[in-house]
Chain A
Amino acid sequence: MERREAIKYTAFFMGATLSASTIAALIEGCKVDTSETWVPSHFTKEEADFVNELSETILPKTTTPGAKDAMVDRFLDTVRPLRYTAEENEKFKTGINTLMEQAKKDLGKDFVREAPEKRLEWVNTIDKNSYDAIHANPDMKNEERPFYLSLKEQILGGYFSSETVAKNFFAFDPIPGSYDPCMPYEKVGRAWAL
């Protein structure tokens, strides 16, 4: 992937023109309500469940945390109404529902009731088709891009910027204390979280 394209997509994720400072802003994280009794307030239960399982399919738990560990659904449920206008959120929810419908049609059952391997198979197809579409037309306008991509970007943003991922996936060092300008990568072995 060309870096220029990456930046374009990143800009899409941000809904803003990218600058060095917005890249910094991308590393913003989330503190979620971790209580057992959490219920979504922005999404419906059905939408939240779908986002939750879709997130875990894209970013499943391995030896490292998955999207559920990072509570990506809760992040999006809280952050969407704060960051976006009601109109943008309405479109976003419509997009989720359309995707849910499509999954149901393709799978013959609700996405959340499908087996994990089948979910991944379905996601991989949607994923490939979506990227193929924008690669075929690099000048595609934001609003014409497949909705799946904008949802995926939000999921990635929520996951990679979470406290769990900062501390358990990346190397977390809030107060480095000193600067080493050029060290062997193996000494860290992971990307810095911050």
Chain B
Amino acid sequence: MYFNNEGANEVTYDAIVVGSGISGGWAAKELCEKGLKTLVLERGKDVKHGDYPTATMEDWEFPNWGKITPEEAKKYPVQSRTSYIMHAAILPWFIEDAMQPYTEVKPFDWMRGYHVGGKSLLWGRHSYRWSDLDFEANAKDGIAVDWPIRYKDVSKWYDYVESFAGISGKNEGLSQLPDGKFLPEMPLNCVEADFREKLSKNMKGRVVTPGRVAHLTAPLTGSTRGTCQYRNRCMRGCPFGAYFSSNASTLPAAYATGNLTMRPYSVAHSIIYDKESGKAKGVRIIDAQTKETKEYFAKIIFLNAGTLNSTLIMMNSPSDRFPNGFGNDSGELGHNLMDHHFRVGGDANVDGFTDKYYKGRKPAGFYMPRFRNIDAASKQKDFIRGYGYQGSASREGWWRAIAEAGAGGEWKDKWQGPGQWSIGMLAFGECLPYHENQISLNTGKMDPYGLPTLSIDCEWKENELAMRKDMVSSAGEMLAAAGYKDVTTYATGGNPGLGIHEMGTARMGRDPKTSVLNEWNQVHACKNVFVTDGACMTSAACVNPSLTYMAITARAAHHAVEELNKQNL
């Protein structure tokens, strides 16, 4: 037993989960439901479901109209790079950058929300299964290392997490985007449906499907969560619990077991390694309020602090056994950082449909699954892998008045109706795992909690840049093929990180010499430590990763409990 002045009981648990976001919430739920006394360490404040102060406010009800003053904005030089967060309804969920500075060797936008629930409150909610096209990609291309798992290893876990999280969507029978256990889809509106039909006629293989999103479009069996009210104010937190978040979904389930202890304001510092047993025995934290150091102990540890923070904690845990960072026998810890590259797409105006409108603010539009490099016929010469699009169609609002000369009563009243239809699509592309895209510890520069800061050195390379050219031209080509007018395309550029899909830096693999984690997300050389957030990813695919984090986490947690029961851990 390990003692400190709080007494062994209060600091000793069966399991510790670091982080309470999408993957941490799942780890907590699964471990608690299996009967493990589980401590969740969350660096930010507690947020109970429903504790969403701005959720039902109309914009005119905000002090200062929700505007962020230039003075306030100065606290968010990095976070403000995601421009849509600069509103009082949302900004409080994001950190002030001085809380955790980092060094940008090359520009990297690191978006962080520190509170119970983490980015599960703030995510885009698109939820797509990976396919063997993704899991086999590295092996087939002969790059990086092979994933140690295939679709057959995770498909039942996708079933499992979809059934609990509640994912709306439409099965399309596509090999590159496997079908799932879906609630009814959020239907395409008139023009989105028109786009689907036109493309199916004019461009074979381009599928416009309703976005598969983690929203309840119908009551979910066994759940008290409410259905989507079509307010589209999701990022403020949903008082109806209509989209999946840790706060509304996994954490209440974990609490219901009586096995969960939540410790907010707990900044994980390092993993405590026990030389004799060859296991990790606990986690050292800094109390964010008192700045005191505390130690907590458990049989198994799940790292779900968010990609870069999980790796930071491992890097900050050197020992005689692991002088170069916890579990870093391979030298790959911190390497192979990935994100999705985006800010490329197209827009067009759509004639007609002026007698058609919609009711409700749908929090998702359409998705177009990958169509490049999925078979011999779609093979590209300039790049490997592929991309998908998210998009939507809508009727223009009053702001079109700004561009039109005029004044007076008649002029004013003509803006009372909606304008023409327009449609837009935005591509998200796969980024390859490059060894040299990496993070490292800046031991000379500490953060306010006394942890070393990170240096981030990451850039898009040739394959991504070549892919982006195709992402632009395909968008234009498809909008034109649908017969839409005023087609414009854009390629705005953007730093890695802005996709907020940071992945890699502690990759899974078969060989301990070239990877950090095994096929069960266990650290190769210390099997009672599991990393199941984005850090574990061996490649990035082109689809949103959160659903895969959920599936991989549930799978790893079940394996952990089995191994514990067999006394293998």
Chain A residues in the interface with B (C-beta under 8 A) = 1-6, 9-10, 13, 16-17, 19-31, 57-64, 66, 75, 78-79, 82-85, 120, 123-124, 127-128, 130-131, 152-153, 156, 160-163, 166, 169-170, 173-192, 194
Measured CB to CB, the closest approach of chain B to A168, in angstroms, equals 10
The interface residues of chain B lying within 8 Å CB-to-CB of A188 are 357, 359
Q: Decide: A13 and B402 in contact? CB cutoff 8 A.
A: yes
Going nearest first, the 3 A-B pairs with the smallest beta carbon separation are A21-B84, A29-B60, A6-B403
Q: Decide: B402 and A6 in contact? CB cutoff 8 A.
A: yes
Among A6, A156, A163, A190, point to the contact of B60 (Cβ < 8 A).
A163
Among B67, B84, B358, B404, point to the contact of A1 (Cβ < 8 A).
B404
Q: Decide: A176 and B229 in contact? CB cutoff 8 A.
A: yes
Report the bound CA distance from A10 to B285 in whole Å: 48
Residue ID in chain A nearest B64 by CB atoms:
A82
Report the bound CA distance from A61 to B61 in whole Å: 24
- Interchain residue pairs with CB less than 8 A apart (11): A10-B402, A20-B426, A22-B84, A82-B67, A124-B407, A156-B402, A176-B229, A181-B189, A181-B193, A191-B398, A192-B361
Chain B residues in the interface with A (C-beta under 8 A) = 56, 58-62, 64-67, 69-70, 83-84, 87, 186-190, 192-193, 228-231, 347, 349, 354-362, 395, 397-409, 411-413, 415-419, 422, 424, 426, 486, 488
Given contacts A17-B83, A170-B398, A179-B362, 15 further A-B contacts (CB under 8 A): A1-B400, A4-B486, A58-B407, A61-B409, A62-B412, A82-B67, A152-B402, A156-B398, A156-B402, A166-B60, A177-B230, A181-B188, A182-B358, A183-B356, A185-B417
Q: Decide: A190 and B416 in contact? CB cutoff 8 A.
A: yes
The interface residues of chain B lying within 8 Å CB-to-CB of A179 are 186-187, 228, 230, 358-360, 362
Q: Decide: B65 and A3 in contact? CB cutoff 8 A.
A: no
- Contacts known (A2-B486, A176-B360); A128 close to B405, Cβ less than 8 A: yes
Residue ID in chain A nearest B409 by CB atoms:
A62
Q: Decide: B405 and A190 in contact? CB cutoff 8 A.
A: no
Report the bound CA distance from A120 to B56 in whole Å: 40
Measured CB to CB, the closest approach of chain B to A177, in angstroms, equals 5
Q: Decide: B402 and A19 in contact? CB cutoff 8 A.
A: no
Q: Decide: A83 and B359 in contact? CB cutoff 8 A.
A: no
The interface residues of chain A lying within 8 Å CB-to-CB of B59 are 27-29, 161
Measured CB to CB, the closest approach of chain B to A12, in angstroms, equals 8
Report the bound CA distance from A184 to B229 in whole Å: 21
Q: Decide: B402 and A178 in contact? CB cutoff 8 A.
A: no
Q: Decide: B193 and A191 in contact? CB cutoff 8 A.
A: no
Report the bound CA distance from A16 to B73 in whole Å: 14
Q: Decide: A185 and B355 in contact? CB cutoff 8 A.
A: yes
Among B190, B357, B413, B486, point to the contact of A3 (Cβ < 8 A).
B486
The interface residues of chain B lying within 8 Å CB-to-CB of A57 are 407-408
The interface residues of chain B lying within 8 Å CB-to-CB of A175 are 229, 231
Q: Decide: A176 and B231 in contact? CB cutoff 8 A.
A: yes
Among B58, B231, B398, B488, point to the contact of A163 (Cβ < 8 A).
B58
Report the bound CA distance from A85 to B71 in whole Å: 9
Q: Decide: A120 and B401 in contact? CB cutoff 8 A.
A: no
Residue ID in chain B nearest A153 by CB atoms:
B402
Q: Decide: B406 and A127 in contact? CB cutoff 8 A.
A: yes
Measured CB to CB, the closest approach of chain B to A169, in angstroms, equals 6
Report the bound CA distance from A1 to B64 in whole Å: 33
Measured CB to CB, the closest approach of chain A to B381, in angstroms, equals 32
Q: Decide: B397 and A191 in contact? CB cutoff 8 A.
A: yes
Report the bound CA distance from A75 to B60 in whole Å: 10
Report the bound CA distance from A126 to B411 in whole Å: 16
Q: Decide: B398 and A160 in contact? CB cutoff 8 A.
A: yes
Measured CB to CB, the closest approach of chain B to A65, in angstroms, equals 9
Measured CB to CB, the closest approach of chain A to B83, in angstroms, equals 6
Among B228, B230, B402, B426, find the residue whose CB has the most chain A CB atoms closer than 10 A. B402
- Contacts known (A177-B229, A190-B416, A191-B417); A185 close to B67, Cβ less than 8 A: no
Report the bound CA distance from A123 to B61 in whole Å: 32
Q: Decide: B187 and A181 in contact? CB cutoff 8 A.
A: yes
Measured CB to CB, the closest approach of chain B to A1, in angstroms, equals 4
Q: Decide: A60 and B398 in contact? CB cutoff 8 A.
A: no
Residue ID in chain A nearest B400 by CB atoms:
A6
- Contacts known (A156-B398, A169-B416); A178 close to B87, Cβ less than 8 A: no
